[in-house]
Chain A
Amino acid sequence: MSTDQILQLIDFTYIAAAIGFILSLKWLSSPVTAMRGVLIGEVASALAVLATLFDARVTEHKWIIIALLIGAGIGVPLGMVKMTAVPQRTALSHAFGALSAALVGISEYYVGAPNISKFEMGEIGLEVVIGSLTVTGSLIAAGKLQELKWIPQRPITYKGQNYVSLSVLAAAVLLIVELVFHPEKTFLFPIMVGVALVFGVMLVTPIGGADMPTVISLLNSYAGFSASLLGFVLQSKLLVVAGALDGASGFILSVIMCKAMNRSFTNVLFGAFGQVQAAAAGAKEERVVKSASPEDAASILSAANRVVIVPGYGMAVAQAQHKVRELCDALIKKGIDVKFGIHPVAGRMPGHMNVLLAEADIPYDRLLEMDAINGDLPQTDVALVIGANDVTNPAARTDQGSPIYGMPIIDVDKARTVMVIKRSMAAGFAGIDNPLYYLDHTLMLFGDAKKFVSEIVQHLAGSQS
């Protein structure tokens, strides 16, 4: 085959790969076809990589093969992490993806510089800036999720933070503009990269805890769009398509997360700049809560016909999902209808709770999203809240003064009895008091989620014999 024919063949492989990517996402729509989706994604990616190795521009293969092997060596352990570690793994992979895109952009710049057209410079500048800020932003996010000691978990905010952050971003943009009009000032390029890296850190440090699902989706979107921009620079339509799909996915997830937290759309695009200091509502008179023992809880549950379990991040922290499965099994054995109500922002990344519960072998047809479960709650005997707080706070529906007013919640308060497993009466992440706990039909179950659930299971088993 002539070189031209090989190039054509490679191009056709890329088109086939793009089709594979699209089908892959299409089949991910349902758990039934999802596995097929992964398979076609794998085949498409493998074909594209293989075809590229035959590209005539690739003159040296040895080091590339070694780099691929090193990549596989890093990738395999990162693919084998525990399910609870998936959020930080995902953040880390956003960093790797963006790093790769940024490095290719940087190489492309130095190969051409300073003889680079204005247009190309603009593209490269934008691509490298978005890529670089995503690298540091994702690393900080991964560190926060991994709960590294030297990375502050709580959001760090200071006065005028938005102005400082935005000026840093503006500086990066000005540097791109300067490079476009004065391409001979090549020394500005590394400064631009540095400023973008700093901005990435500033973007994510003010955000923490409950906002992590939004941040991680946002970084996903940035990583995708930087790959797409790289496709513009290199005139690779395959990268444009893959990046656009990834970017769109992160974007939609960010929007879903934002809606689930009642945040505005501008917050989505620029990150939730210092949004989180919801002041704890003042006037805190001592109100009475009713608490109950595992034994009481077990007898109330056995008397129920319908139970809805609402898990939150606290369940993941306590590693209680396997015990929850046992509880679920024990109740089903008694002929009780058990469903799970999953809030979109429960957990630390989109869909996190579903993965943890699926890992514990809870069939996915019992996992219902917020809108699906809310209609059932008025006919529910017991709503059991495990490690969730703000997403069940009825103040979001009723109290216009509440910082979370308007946020869609799971209406557990509409169930006949509400039971809440909680360590103590400390306020949730947002520091907002939860009136749910003082309702007449609410029972507080104080203790560690895992231990409490397993005690309930024991009492359920005991009452049977």
Chain B
Amino acid sequence: MPADFISSLFVFILAAFLGLELIKRVSPLLHTPLMSLTNALDAIVVVAAIIIAGERKTNMAETLGLVAVAASFSNMVGGFIITDRMLSMFKTGKAKKP
């Protein structure tokens, strides 16, 4: 088993447990923004797509990489915008003045 697999697994296990603990604490009020936010964060795949497209090892890799860049970056941009919009609607009764 390659050494970097072990270290990745290590990181994965720790991150997964941390994620479970963090997300358990998220109020059910915010489950929809939670999903759009994690989607936007997950769009960090774009960095891998940029490398694949930028390395230009083969034409195919470059093309698929560029499509991947566009797909994941659209998630990053759209995910943050919509999360922001949703959260700005959540107001308490005190702050509200009709």
Contact = CB atoms under 8 A, between A and B. Distances in A.
A24 B41 contact: yes
B81 A37 contact: no
Contact of B52 (A26, A107, A123): A107
A57 interface: yes
Interface in A11-65: 14, 17, 21-22, 24-26, 28-31, 34-35, 37-38, 41-42, 45, 48-49, 52-53, 55, 57-61, 63-64
Given A93-B36, A107-B64, A358-B89, A74 B53 contact: no
Given A355-B33, A363-B93, A34 B64 contact: no
Interface residues of B, number: 88
Contacts of A63: 53, 62, 66
Given A28-B30, A59-B54, A104 B48 contact: yes
A100 B68 contact: yes
Interface in A361-401: 361, 363-367, 369
Given A49-B47, A93-B79, A237-B11, A223 B37 contact: no
Contacts of A61: 54
Contact of B19 (A42, A107, A217, A245): A245
Given A119-B5, A236-B48, A344-B28, A58 B41 contact: no
Contact of B46 (A60, A100, A249): A100
Specify the main secondary structure of chain B where it touches its partner.
helix
Contacts of A223: 39, 42
B41 A245 contact: yes
A104 B45 contact: yes
A227 B29 contact: no
Given A35-B87, A75-B75, A25 B19 contact: yes
B9 to A, nearest CB: 8
A45 B74 CA distance: 13
A366 B86 CA distance: 17
A103 B12 CA distance: 22
Contact of A245 (B38, B76, B92): B38
B82 A45 contact: no
Given A90-B35, A245-B15, A22 B71 contact: no
Contact of B77 (A71, A111, A239): A71
Contact of B1 (A104, A119, A245): A119
Interface in B31-65: 31-58, 60-62, 64-65
A52 B77 CA distance: 17
Contacts, number: 374
A107 B66 CA distance: 11
A103 B83 CA distance: 26
B42 A232 contact: no
B83 A78 contact: no
Interface stretch (A149-157, A345-353, A427-435, A453-461): A345-353
A45 B76 contact: yes
Interface string A224-241: 100110111011111111
Contact of A64 (B69, B77, B82, B96): B69
Contact of B71 (A81, A100, A252): A100
Interface string A56-93: 01111101101110111111111111010010011001
A253 interface: yes
Interface residues of A, number: 115
A25 B41 CA distance: 10
Interface string A103-147: 110111011000001010001000000000000000000000000
Given A28-B34, A57-B55, A242 B44 contact: yes
Contact of A68 (B9, B70, B91): B70
Interface centre among A37, A41, A97, A216 (most CB of B within 10 A): A97
A96 interface: yes
A29 B32 contact: no
A241 B2 CA distance: 19
A175 interface: no
A145 B18 CA distance: 32
Interface of B: 1-2, 4-5, 7-9, 11-12, 15-16, 18-20, 22-58, 60-62, 64-96, 98
Interface of A: 14, 17, 21-22, 24-26, 28-31, 34-35, 37-38, 41-42, 45, 48-49, 52-53, 55, 57-61, 63-64, 66-68, 70-81, 83, 86, 89-90, 93-94, 96-97, 99-101, 103-104, 106-108, 110-111, 117, 119, 123, 216-217, 220, 223-224, 227-228, 230-232, 234-253, 256, 329, 342, 344, 349-352, 354-355, 358-359, 361, 363-367, 369
14 contacts: A34-B90, A63-B62, A71-B73, A71-B76, A79-B81, A79-B82, A83-B89, A93-B36, A245-B19, A245-B22, A246-B38, A250-B38, A349-B32, A369-B28
Given A57-B54, A93-B75, A364-B29, 8 more contacts: A52-B46, A58-B51, A93-B36, A104-B68, A108-B52, A242-B45, A245-B16, A350-B32
